[in-house]
Amino acid sequence: MSRPECPAEGAQQSEHSPGPIDDREPIVYILVDPLTSQAGTVKDLLKSKLKQGTLSVCRCLHCSAAEANAAVVVPLTAGTLGRSFQGALWATANRIRDIRLGMSDVGAFCLVDDGKPDYRAHAHLAYSPADEKLRNAREAARANLKAAFLENGIQPSLATCPFFE
């Protein structure tokens, strides 16, 4: 299941991951205030992280809600950073991959496994490489990505996301 615009999707990228991300997998994006949410709303997905290919997401078929909490929420909210858990969003991998750059046939986003030794469900969401004439379509694609995640609503807890339990 490799797409020309996202060759890394077709092969396992991390020895710690369960393998490439299947189209049917639910992908969870955790909202932490003030980084990704604000008073019950979702900020725009971070353009810089999408460009760098470092927007962290969770493959919820490969961990429990408790494991995701320990690996993501606890480190992001620990200490005096003033951050707090605000909920989570999820969409299937194929819904994310179906978002196109403008009128092209090019997928706007890549989902790549990036399992860690203590968090095998970690993955990255990134803009797909695009030629210059398609770059202006990225803003619209980012809005469509946010809309795709919002289709299932903001989940008030990780327990309401489709994690395996």
Please list, in sequence order, all residues whose beta carbon lies within 8 angstroms of the beta carbon of residue 152, skipping any fewer than 6 positions away.
89, 90, 91
Per-domain residue ranges of the chain? 7-154
Q: Classify the C-alpha dihedral 67-16-116-29 as positive or negative.
A: negative
- Give me the pLDDT at residue 48, please: 81
CA angle 126, 158, 89 (to 5 degrees): 40
Q: Residue 41 has what pLDDT?
A: 59
Query: In a structure prediction context, what are the per-residue pLDDT tens digits for the chain, which is 165 residues long?
Result: 578 999 999 999 999 999 999 999 999 999 887 766 555 556 667 778 888 888 999 999 999 999 999 999 999 888 766 788 889 999 999 999 999 998 888 899 999 999 999 999 999 999 998 776 777 888 889 889 999 999 999 999 999 999 987
**Within its chain, how far is the Cα of 38 from the centroid?**
18
CA angle 90, 60, 45 (to 5 degrees): 35
